[in-house]
Chains A and B, each alone.
Chain A
Amino acid sequence: MTLYPMPPLPSNDKRWKIVNGTMRRHGFTRHALIETLHTVQTSFGYLDDESIRFVAKSLRVPLSQAYGVVTFYHYFSLKPPGKHTATVCTGTACYIKGADRLIASSERHLDVKQGETTADGNISLMTARCVGACGRAPVVIMDGELMGDATSEKMLEQFERWAV
């Protein structure tokens, strides 16, 4: 009984079916926008034009609104992540324990600014507001694994391991 034709899946990639599944679970209502974008980012690693258009069309949300939501929230990324990701927590506890020094030394080592990916697409250096592991500050998340009491040395070691 859908009055609007559903847009076709952008490709045969199975991940689109997962994205569609999230929208279906929410009955293709407009308020499923953020939940769906989360699914896209989890499945594809980032949000590109094609995926935002597809989600906006499927949920009948104006593209401007979808893009507005994507750019409003820090968690959503419009750029593909590197093969590996190091996320430095910049919460207060980590700041007090020297997170800025970790960022500075990583930026120098990788020759990128925070939020960027190395030229070879290998490592992304990201920051997070607070991952809630303040008891182990300063904290860095290396490919999803939490490293507590982080030091520049420990980070650089990991970068070296990733480089090979």
Chain B
Amino acid sequence: MNLEELQQIAESSKQEREKADYEINVCMGTGCLSQHSDKIKDDLATEASVSNKRIIVRRTGCMGLCASGPLVLVEPTNVLYQHVSADRARDIINSVDGEPIPELLCDLREHFDDQVHVVLENSGRIDPEKIEDYIGRDGYLALVTALTDMTPASIIDEITKSGLKGRGGGGYPTGLKWGTVAKARGDLKYVICNADEGDPGAFMDRSVLESDPQRVIEGMAIGAYAVGASRGFVYVRAEYPLAVSRFNTALRDARRRGFLGNNICGTDFDFDIEIRLGAGAFVCGEETALLQSIEGKRGTPKPRPPYPAVSGLWGKPTLINNVESFANIAPIIRKGAAWFAKMGTEKSKGTKVFALTGKIAHTGLVEVPMGMPLRQIIFGIGGGVPDGHKFKAVQTGGPSGGCIPEEHLDIPVSYESLIGVGSMMGSGGMIVMDDTSCMVNVAKFFLQFCMEESCGKCIPCRAGTWQMHQILTKICDGEGTHEDLDLLVDLCGTIKETSLCGLGMSAPNPVLSTLRYFRNEYLEHIDNKNCPAGVCACGTKAAKEAEVHA
């Protein structure tokens, strides 16, 4: 494969598209597929074939607005239909060249107009199982350019200049990490894509793998070339069967087209990728635990240093990046570091994909430039809290993050600002809570999660989270005391400072942040044995039993 061949494929893909007057994209991500969008696509294709119009009906990945699924997008008129059912297929085909169907029309300008799609630029616009679609939208241009015109050092330099930071949550500068792996000595190096998206309430990585898998492969291949690696792994959750199957197809296609394998693009660069399935352990999102899991062992973390960049998988230098980080690589190489660095804030560059869920009108995936105020994301793009309820908090960063109250909604979203208000970026889950959520109960929910997911290797995390959970249960049951609160804060400090890995170190965050902003709710449980949101069965245990059996 060289540049000319690549352009030929892109050209024929474009010609194929130009043969049709209309393109109908049907979202077949996990969300819409669960509402049988595959049937809708089949019916649309049948109707299109019997009509005398020139229409392409295409399966695509996620279009983002999961709440309104199944979604169908008609191009080039850019008409988006929501809640489509298969029996409307004929109407949609009939109306492509006329007026859009009003009752199906999804007209959410404020939802789409403020978004900037870099990672999701192809999501919902290409068939994820057709590599030609990806190439037709400048896919693999970055890899071919990198291999033929750039040195590994100049690639790392470009990534460094772009200011890209790890999108998995830690926010470590990607260029710096690549530089370390490139400098590390070793006959064999590995590249690993961390797709163990364990944060409950986050599904960005699943969506990228389902909607645009080639982008991740391209990013990994560029990374491998830059650091001198020859083997790659994608560690993906077994709970994501569709993502695994689409990624497998993508790997086969990439090999067939010569983007993976030996002598890629006629150079002496060899690289191939294998999938490894996770098995339901949250801690395996931590990089050293992930390595253990790929080696077929229990996923328990190891103390760092040595960092995986120096001694990782089977003791070899290993580059580990998150799905979204790899998905950003190709656009950076293609459009340049300066283009990327123009977006975002001073320290957090580029865009970030967020999964908006919980009590919010437009649940789904959004991608916004860093620096956008939280308020705009939640109330503008997200459409605010539905059913007349009042916004209470937004939870970011999963079980490691915190709850941000209304008074801080005007902060621009970035790695630094979120840490400043006691939360963190995490992988990008944003769960909106309204006045029907009890913040003590939410803290308990996360603590229970961390307690159950603690691998048990270090005592602060194993025993500490259990103790904290006990105290929170006591408070929720209306049996807490003021001393319990002090003890809770004390425990938080101990666990934070003495745990081995990120899971333990960040487990107290949900408690600390709710204590900081919603202390009155804790006090209400303790002093008045009352749960303001009506979630906890305060008072006696008997009352709780009664509610369970009611």
Contacts and interface: CB of A to CB of B under 8 A. Distances in A.
A141 B81 CA distance: 26
A30 B549 CA distance: 49
A65 interface: yes
A133 B31 contact: yes
Interface stretch (B163-171, B215-223, B279-287, B518-526): B279-287
Nearest to A39: B277
B299 interface: yes
A93 B279 contact: no
Interface string B231-244: 00000011110000
Contacts of A73: 278-281, 299
B34 A129 contact: no
A74 B449 CA distance: 13
Given A136-B31, A148-B34, A92 B281 contact: no
Interface of A: 30-35, 37-38, 61, 65, 68-69, 72-76, 90-97, 104, 108, 128-137, 145-148
Contact of B201 (A33, A68, A75, A91): A91
Given A38-B277, A74-B279, A74-B280, A129 B198 contact: yes
Contacts of B198: 129-130
Interface stretch (B13-21, B302-310, B355-363, B407-415): B355-363
Contacts of B31: 133, 135-136, 148
Contacts of B206: 132
A112 to B, nearest CB: 15
A134 B67 CA distance: 9
Interface of B: 30-31, 33-35, 66-67, 69, 197-203, 206-207, 237-240, 276-282, 293-299, 355, 357-359, 363-365, 395, 398, 429, 431, 433, 437, 442, 445-446, 449, 455, 548-549
Contacts of A61: 296
Contact of B357 (A35, A93, A146): A93
B201 A93 contact: yes
A84 B229 CA distance: 45
A93 B431 contact: yes
A91 B34 CA distance: 18
Nearest to A32: B296
A148 B35 CA distance: 8
A97 B433 CA distance: 10
A24 to B, nearest CB: 15
Given A38-B277, A145-B34, A132 B429 contact: no
A137 B277 contact: no
A90 B198 CA distance: 12
23 contacts: A37-B279, A38-B277, A38-B279, A61-B296, A69-B296, A75-B278, A75-B279, A96-B357, A96-B358, A128-B239, A128-B280, A129-B239, A130-B200, A132-B197, A132-B203, A132-B239, A132-B240, A133-B30, A135-B67, A135-B69, A135-B365, A136-B67, A148-B31
Contacts of B455: 72
A104 B433 CA distance: 22
A131 B239 contact: yes
A69 B34 CA distance: 32
Contacts of A93: 200-201, 357-358, 363, 431
B296 A137 contact: no
A82 B496 CA distance: 41
Given A34-B293, A72-B281, 12 more contacts: A34-B276, A34-B296, A35-B296, A74-B279, A90-B200, A92-B201, A92-B398, A93-B200, A133-B31, A134-B355, A136-B31, A147-B34
Contacts of B199: 130
Contacts of A148: 31, 34-35
Contacts of B34: 133, 136, 145-148
A131 B31 CA distance: 10
A75 to B, nearest CB: 4
A76 B429 CA distance: 26
A62 B398 CA distance: 36
B92 to A, nearest CB: 22
B364 A129 contact: no
Contacts of A65: 297
Residue among A72, A74, A95, A135 facing the most chain B CB atoms (10 A cut-off): A135
A94 B429 CA distance: 13
Nearest to A76: B279
A101 to B, nearest CB: 10
A134 B299 contact: no
Q: Please give me the 3 A-B residue pairs with the lowest Cβ-Cβ distance, nearest first.
A: A135-B66, A91-B200, A73-B279
A37 B296 CA distance: 10
A95 B398 CA distance: 13
B239 to A, nearest CB: 5
Contact of B395 (A76, A92, A131): A92
Nearest to A25: B274
B282 A129 contact: yes
Contacts of A92: 200-201, 357-358, 395, 398, 429, 431, 445-446
A108 B398 CA distance: 30
Given A72-B281, A75-B238, A136-B31, A96 B359 contact: yes
Contacts of B282: 129
Contacts of B549: 108
Contacts of A145: 34
Nearest to B437: A96
A97 B207 CA distance: 21
